[in-house]
Chain A
Amino acid sequence: MLVSTTSHSLDDGPQVIVSLSSASFGYVDRAVVSGVSLDIHAGEVVAILGPNGSGKSTLVKGLLGLNAHLGGQVALFGTPIERFRDHARLGYVPQRHTLSASVRATAAEIVAIGRLPHQGWLGRPKHEDRRIIAESLAVVGLDDRADVDVSTLSGGQQRRVLIARALAAQPDVLIMDEPTAGVDLASQEVLSQVLARLAGRGTTMLIVTHELQALGGVLTRIVQLNGGHVTYDGTPTQYAQWQGAPTTDHNGHHHDNEQGPAASAAAGPLDHVNHPPGGHGA
């Protein structure tokens, strides 16, 4: 199996993969997201929603160490982010419209990059690495294109190559930045199938997106950001109700909800933390 599934540690419920407490991220001189408190458990499939500039990408890039961590507590797999070195446990799928076409590179060669953290100093793939590379390409449905130059693939296929690269690292959580943005409808359908397949295998996912529809029934939780703050945190069903509520209502609850996620640590093991509008704690 490529991505480890929910690992239960005795009675503690699913492992806490990401834990944020009043965290802020951004650039050295400017915070883009602040006051974010969230716990993400193994097995959850979380969409991070929000308009452009709301800080979605900054948040996930902060977890990956690509943006500066400016305040609050951030722990990955229980280790404070400052001391976290096991980067291969976070499988990053960047937002990329095209893969670099400056030189030829096959899909398998790109996916092989994901194996590097697990390889020796020379980084030459062994039999086991090749097997995992092939399996990763199979999960995204591109095993028939392994030896094809990636620049000849469609946008959606390239996106899947990047997912396969992340899978090849055998991470404990997939962090995806806009996986469905800017790809044609046919590819989007295949992408949704790939995400559903991963979810079916129990893969924990953190998906930055603004296209809920493309993610269909895969999600277990939605976190919405606006202006660098969490404005909603709950299940997709409640989110739909919340969206349907009168505008005045949903505006009125912004501030209330900022407190909501902080209480998430109190949630039961398999409950996804739900914070319907106005409701504090689960």
Chain B
Amino acid sequence: MPDILTYNFMQHALLAAFLVGLAAPMVGVFLVQRRLSLIGDGMGHVALAGVAVGVVTNQAPVLTALIFAVLAAVGIELVRARGRTSGDVALAVMFYGGIALGVVVIGKSTSGTPANLDSYLFGAISTTTHTDLVVFAGLAFVVVGITWALAPRLFAVANDEEYARATGMRVTALNITLAVLTAVTVVVAMRVVGLLLISALMIVPNATAQLIAGSFRSAMRMAVVIGVLCSVGGVATSFYADTAPGGTIVLLAIALFLVAASYSSLRGRIAGRKHEEAEQHEHEHGPNCGHAAIEHEHHVDYLHDGHRHAPHEGHYDEHDPLKTHDETVRH
């Protein structure tokens, strides 16, 4: 057994990292889709006030943080649903109010100083107790299960809220559900990556997956794999390199993003050099357009006045001049 696994606290830490790495990107993809990438950050701010209240009143900080974050989540969706232009400002007030309240309340604590908040702000995965772990595991399973079950509907609502409403979907209820899932994820992740970095684990793996994947489904799966790799890998790295786990996880995720971004820009440049656009084209090719369709690798070329036109984004590419080998012409 590698020595990292001989320590009880590291077993806990790796398991917690796995759960967070699984749940965060899964919820995060819908936040990215709704262009709410920073909402997790805001909920983290409010959760901090919950942590402070828990510390001061001798309640479990995880529980009070959960209550605060969930209330914030519902509040955010209600503000958004009212569609006021001032909604943006209302959110800012809520978020900064949360962090300010947290700092003030913790200052009143007899048992500690504002330094108590550090383990929540930046994560303290190695101090995760067995009880914490059980609670996190339970919450993470609930988040993953509900997100998986609702995924097609969350996708539909995030894609086109108006259409979803017209088909009778309960749009507001689904949006509130997503917000609450986000809030729970924030609380589960606060001991692992810290409240200040939680958004990173929800968003960055998705940003990476979006660069590579070809569909929503595959992007979501890829983001979950990247999230698990980064959070488990980050915790393991921090054990050997003696670095802060939360920061290590996020830096790893960002490194992967940069690799993916360079790869996709390189690929784009190579493809750009290879491809030749067809002349100005008023006609749209399709299965019934009257031009012969030729199977070519994984797409269809259309034979147009001796040229082979392949649909590419909004235009047509010129593909190889006519070859006769093993290609089937369909009519």
A residues sitting closer than 8 Å to B (CB atoms) are 64-66, 85, 87-88, 90, 92, 94, 96, 99-100, 102-106, 109-110, 112-114, 116-117, 119, 121-124, 138, 141-145, 147, 149, 152-154, 156, 165, 169, 185-187, 189-190
Contacts and interface: CB of A to CB of B under 8 A. Distances in A.
A141 B282 contact: no
A230 to B, nearest CB: 23
B294 to A, nearest CB: 12
A149 B149 CA distance: 24
Interface residues of B, number: 44
Nearest to B212: A104
B314 A102 contact: no
Nearest to B37: A102
Interface stretch (B92-100, B116-124, B156-164): B156-164
B286 A152 contact: no
B153 A110 contact: no
A116 B284 contact: no
Contact of A190 (B29, B159, B216, B284): B284
B163 A165 contact: yes
Interface stretch (B136-144, B165-173, B233-241): B165-173
Contacts of B160: 94, 96, 99-100, 113
A169 B167 contact: yes
Contacts of A138: 287
Contacts of B210: 103-104
Contacts of B281: 186
B109 interface: no
Given A117-B167, A123-B153, A149-B214, A100 B159 contact: yes
A92 B167 contact: yes
B169 to A, nearest CB: 7
Nearest to B152: A123
Contacts of B215: 104-106, 109, 147, 149
A94 B287 contact: no
* Residue picked from B166, B216, B284, B313, most chain A C-beta under 10 Å: B166
B149 to A, nearest CB: 6
Nearest to B169: A116
B282 A122 contact: no
Contacts of B219: 103-104
* Residue picked from A85, A114, A116, most chain B C-beta under 10 Å: A116
B138 to A, nearest CB: 22
A154 B314 CA distance: 5
Contacts of B169: 116-117
Nearest to A108: B215
Given A116-B152, A141-B287, A149-B214, A102 B33 contact: yes
